[in-house]
Chains A and B, each alone.
Chain A
């Protein structure tokens, strides 16, 4: 026992706590917690401050025009915003059905041990770095897209303008496909959690009314968890929008707005990755930083919404149980 230390109660005097080191420990850990908030604020401040020239010169037309000409110092972000949104939309179209299907299997059908084992692999899949997806994208997915999938799509669905034009292999469709593979683990993990939080009596009531296993899952369990599942989709969308390396390696890096998904494009993250080091002149660099600011705001809003939805669902499950 420390000599002089009083009985440990909550009502010890400030001096006693100071002597025991509690106030010092509180202060030190508080400083480190404050650093977290400070860094976050500093990121917003730096992005805002370092894009001041470009924000003042172009104003809102930065988001609406599509000329990206470093020589004339004309910068419009529309092609990059277009590429980012289109690739993310393609990614979600593929990843959402697959991810939710897999999550239903893991949460509703698979025995606990199998479900945990598969979840382990899904977690590992989420840990694969983006540049590795890029390597597989360039050397494996692109040739398959060019030689097999894109010609086939053209044959069958060629009457749609989005499936026309030469099959390069690289382009918006391929970037979307690679992105979809990358975000599936997020959808599965979060959706599985929210599905598992649906109270047992919901399932039992549906089954007791004569519903088949699928009907109880699809008409009762999934609707109960739908806000949380939406949350997982927003989370995946936020990841897809900000994803850099894998997209850069397969999108073709051509700032254009094309009707066809086969056409090469460019995204916000990949134009920053490609041009930042070679950007000469303040205006060029600042325009790229403003793109970063746009990306930050997009992901900020989506992440906020996603977290809100996930919290709402788990609270609903908890209050029901």
Chain B
């Protein structure tokens, strides 16, 4: 009897240890994917990054060499427009949700933001095409920036709101007790108290759209030359990576790896900075 129980207990302990080890293996596999990605990109892309990559236009089809200077500038312009669209709407909308709104309006706005966050990026692209390309009959940097900006709104809005709500009540009451009006309290006490969180939210939203390709395919399109102003189609790094990777040319594949490395490096660095900003801030207590 006891021997039998021992055997059963030993089996249960074996199962326990085995399954727990397996969960560790799952975690290891999942995390190692990141290092595989980084490793391959550095290995294949590192050798192809040179001065030309940052300073020259793409070489004509069939010739090797050239760079992606126009795509780098194009991405910068697109992201600038996206920030101009996404951050004010996301930030001020969050201020309304956290400080002014009643619960019904807040529910509707939050619901809309979550819905917007879940819309596939290609659908955002169709929308931007319908309102910013089709009526004007041409692709443009404006349309691409608009599409990316829409994607920034929900991420900025939801995290900013959370950080604003996390500001301790005592700070608000202190400011009000000194006779400050509500908007003065918000502008001079609440937002400064939450600024690290808000900055993190904006940086993460920026990093998220920096690598978006699908919404640019039929808004900013692409361009093998410099794009002047904001009213012309423009090249961008993610679209370049896509076009070069699916092309049949060996030299373009090499450049796709290089562009991918630059893009991923940028995004990971922004992510790490965003998290460092938050970690160094005063701990924000949840109300």
Q: Verify that A and B bind, or say they do not.
A: yes
B33 CB to nearest A CB, Å: 6
A28 CB to nearest B CB, Å: 7
Stretch in B50-58, B60-68, B182-190, B224-232 touching the partner:
B182-190
> In the complex, A25→B41 CA distance in Å?
48
Kindly identify which residue among A8, A108, A188 contacts B30, using a CB–CB cutoff of 8 Å: A188
> In the complex, A35→B91 CA distance in Å?
12
B120 touches A296 (CB 8 A): yes
A233 CB to nearest B CB, Å: 15
Query: Given A8-B176, A129-B264, is A136 in contact with B12 using a C-beta cutoff of 8 Å?
Result: no
List the A residue with the shortest CB-CB distance to B149: A39
Which residues of the partner chain B approach A208 to less than 8 Å between Cβ atoms?
A: none
B74 at the interface (CB under 8 A from A): no
Query: Given A47-B127, A124-B271, A242-B122, is A32 in contact with B23 using a C-beta cutoff of 8 Å?
Result: no
> In the complex, A213→B13 CA distance in Å?
9
A54 at the interface (CB under 8 A from B): no
Interface residues of A in 115-162 (CB under 8 A from B): 118, 120-125, 127-136, 138-140
Kindly identify which residue among A1, A132, A273, A300 contacts B214, using a CB–CB cutoff of 8 Å: A273
B147 CB to nearest A CB, Å: 11
List the A residue with the shortest CB-CB distance to B210: A129
Which residues of the partner chain B approach A185 to less than 8 Å between Cβ atoms?
A: 30
> In the complex, A124→B276 CA distance in Å?
13
B76 at the interface (CB under 8 A from A): no
A36 touches B245 (CB 8 A): no
> In the complex, A36→B58 CA distance in Å?
38
A11 at the interface (CB under 8 A from B): no
Contact with A along B19-44 (1 / 0, CB 8 A): 11011111101110110110011001
Query: Given A47-B126, A132-B37, A140-B40, is A35 in contact with B89 using a C-beta cutoff of 8 Å?
Result: yes
Kindly identify which residue among A29, A50, A128 contacts B92, using a CB–CB cutoff of 8 Å: A29
A99 at the interface (CB under 8 A from B): yes
Per DSSP, chain B at the interface is: helix
B267 touches A296 (CB 8 A): no
Query: Given A8-B180, A36-B153, A131-B260, is A273 in contact with B122 using a C-beta cutoff of 8 Å?
Result: yes
A30 touches B100 (CB 8 A): yes
B284 at the interface (CB under 8 A from A): no
Kindly identify which residue among A22, A28, A39, A214 contacts B19, using a CB–CB cutoff of 8 Å: A214
B31 touches A121 (CB 8 A): yes
B126 touches A307 (CB 8 A): no
A99 touches B30 (CB 8 A): yes
A315 CB to nearest B CB, Å: 16
The interface on chain B, measured as residues whose beta carbon lies within 8 A of the other chain's beta carbons, has a size of 96
> In the complex, A120→B100 CA distance in Å?
34
> In the complex, A184→B26 CA distance in Å?
10
Query: Given A132-B41, A135-B241, A218-B19, is A36 in contact with B157 using a C-beta cutoff of 8 Å?
Result: yes
B242 touches A131 (CB 8 A): yes
B96 touches A272 (CB 8 A): no
> In the complex, A190→B287 CA distance in Å?
22
Most chain A CB atoms below 10 A, which of B27, B127, B246: B27
Kindly identify which residue among B29, B89, B120 contacts A295, using a CB–CB cutoff of 8 Å: B120
List the B residue with the shortest CB-CB distance to A16: B181
B179 touches A105 (CB 8 A): no
Stretch in A56-64, A243-251, A257-265 touching the partner:
A243-251
Which residues of the partner chain A approach B96 to less than 8 Å between Cβ atoms?
A: 26, 29-30, 32-33
> In the complex, A247→B13 CA distance in Å?
42
B89 CB to nearest A CB, Å: 5
Query: Which A positions have Cβ atoms within 8 angstroms of B?
Result: 1-2, 5, 7-8, 17, 20-22, 24-26, 28-30, 32-37, 39-43, 46-47, 50, 97-102, 104-106, 108-110, 118, 120-125, 127-136, 138-140, 181, 184-185, 188, 212-215, 217-218, 238, 241-245, 249, 269, 272-273, 276-277, 288-289, 292, 295-296, 299-300, 302-304, 307
7 contacts between A and B (CB under 8 A): A1-B178, A47-B123, A105-B26, A132-B37, A135-B256, A276-B129, A295-B120
